[in-house]
Amino acid sequence: MGRDIKKSEVIPLPPPVEKGGRGDLTLDLSVNIAGIELKNPVMTASGTFGYGEEYAPYIDLNRLGALVVKGLSLQPKQGNPPPRIVETAAGMLNSIGLQNIGAGVFIEKKLPFLRKFDTKVIVNFFGDSIDEYCEVAKILDSVDGIAGLEMNISCPNKEEGWLEFGTNPDLTFRVVNAVRKSTRLPLIVKLSPNITDITIIAKAAEDAGADALSLINTLSGMAVDVNTRRPKLGNVIGGLSGPAIKPVALKMVWQVFKSVKLPLIGIGGIMTAEDAIEFMIVGASAVQVGTANFVDPQASIKILDGIEDYFERNEVKNVKDMVGNLRV
């Protein structure tokens, strides 16, 4: 009896229309972040792009500046009970609960595929203790094909009463500092927006040796079904992402830009090239596209195309000239 469910092959969408002549232009979109040489500033955000391979049938991964994989922990994690996602006004809540295959399986099963592409792979990771963070960092340090690490510090620390690492400057310093000593890879620290003053955490991460900062992670939120009176998420509380949060993200990037020297990666509600450019203007050297990937698998590529167009139209010579050039 055929107990295994037969998988039908997923047939890809028609490939994107070839952009003629891009290669001929002198336009230089490259940017160096944290020592990672990106051919352009467009990345995909952790948790919204799987391990990369899920999107390979739909977009040309080679065009991305970098891709950031789903957050990894030391051991595989099951994640939270369903329902895990719910749409909200111009956004969505997710309570995936950091489900992932674990750093080891990633290296063995997913990385070989990603190595085939001419795109930087950045590995997002987390732990529930400083030790776990360091262990994961060490494991990832030793392998080929990883261009850099992105530390998700919006995670509760089991050693300190499940206080989130990223909401306390002291904890932030300690975990970043410890990880810094555990890896030679470029280290990006990803900041939480659920905080009174994000610049304090940004400075703590800078002091602790981060090479770059990415922001923002999701805003804490919830939703209720008025018919059942139950939370719409199995985990009650989840993370809000999508266009709804863009104004908050822009403001935080601008604040952090004014208070630290590190290069910044802007994240939050980026759907279009204009959105991405807004982030550059307030201080982001690169951007990550998250929820938009769900709405349109080719969003990141369209955003890249749009940035190229903007640069040409406005005769911007390189990314640096845009970063933080807000006219206030």
Partner 1 sequence: MAKILYNKQILPAYYQLGIRWENLPTIEPGQFVMLRLTKYIDPLLRRPFGVYKILGQGARGKGQGIEILYKVLGKGTRLMTNLKPDDEVDILGPLGNSFSAHSGKTNVIIVAGGIGIVPFYLLAKRFKKVRLLFGGRSKDDLPGLDDFKKLKIDIEVSTDDGSRGKKGLVTEIIAKQLSGNSLIYACGPQGMLKEVARIADKTGIPCYVSLDKAMACGIGACLGCAIKVKGQGPWVKSQENKSAIRNPQSAIYKMVCKDGPIFDAREIVWEEI
Ligand X SMILES: Cc1cc2nc3c(=O)[nH]c(=O)nc-3n(C[C@H](O)[C@H](O)[C@H](O)COP(=O)(O)O)c2cc1C
Binding site for partner 1 (CB under 8 A): 1-8, 10-11, 13-14, 47-50, 54-55, 58, 70, 78-79, 81-87, 89-92, 94, 96, 99, 242-243, 271, 291, 293-297
* Distance between CA atoms of residues 255 and 198, nearest Å: 8
Dig out the tokens for 130 from the structure. Answer: 């400083």
Work out the number of other CB atoms within 10 angstroms of the CB of residue 130. Answer: 20
Q: Is 96 in the site for ligand X (CB under 6 A)?
A: yes
Total chain residues near its own copies (CB under 8 A): 46
CB of 269 vs ligand X, minimal distance in Å: 4
CB within 8 A of 38, min separation 6: which ones?
30, 31, 32, 65, 66, 120, 286
Dig out the tokens for 180 from the structure. Answer: 């810094």
Q: Is 124 in the site for ligand X (CB under 6 A)?
A: yes
Length of the chain in residues, anyone? 328
CB of 62 vs ligand X, minimal distance in Å: 21
Beta-strand runs (E) in the chain: 31-33, 36-38, 42-44, 66-72, 85-88, 91-94, 120-125, 148-152, 156-157, 163-164, 187-190, 212-215, 219-222, 224-225, 230-231, 237-241, 264-267, 284-289
Does 216 sit behind a cis peptide bond, omega within 30 degrees of 0 on the bond before it?
A: yes
Q: What is the DSSP letter of 108?
A: I
Which member of 36, 103, 277, 303 binds its own copies (CB under 8 A)?
Answer: 277
Which member of 47, 231, 266, 290 binds its own copies (CB under 8 A)?
Answer: 231
Under rule CB under 8 A, which residues in 85-124 are in contact with its own copies? 88-91, 93
CB within 8 A of 315, min separation 6: which ones?
none
CB of 266 vs ligand X, minimal distance in Å: 10
Tell me the window of 28-36, 77-85, 104-112, 246-254 that interacts with its own copies (CB under 8 A). Answer: 246-254
Sign of CA dihedral 58, 61, 64, 69: positive
Catalytic residue check, 134: no
Q: Is 327 in the site for its own copies (CB under 8 A)?
A: yes
Site string for ligand X, 31-60 (x = CB under 6 A): --------------xxxx------------
Dig out the tokens for 323 from the structure. Answer: 């970063």
- Is 243 within 8 Å of 289 (Cβ atoms)? no
CB of 322 vs its own copies, minimal distance in Å: 9
**Partner in contact with 46, chosen from ligand X, partner 1, its own copies, none, beta carbon below 5 to 8 Å by kind:** ligand X
* Distance between CA atoms of residues 163 and 171, nearest Å: 9
Q: Which of 36, 92, 155, 233 is catalytic?
A: 155
Site string for ligand X, 204-223 (x = CB under 6 A): -------------xx-----
Q: Is 247 in the site for its own copies (CB under 8 A)?
A: yes
CB of 4 vs its own copies, minimal distance in Å: 37
Main-chain phi, psi angles of 263, to 5 degrees = -65, 145
CB of 296 vs its own copies, minimal distance in Å: 15
Binding residues (CB under 8 A) for its own copies: these are 88-91, 93, 167, 194-197, 219-224, 226, 228-231, 236-238, 240, 242-248, 250-251, 254, 269, 274, 277-278, 281-282, 310, 325-328
Name the residues annotated as catalytic.
155
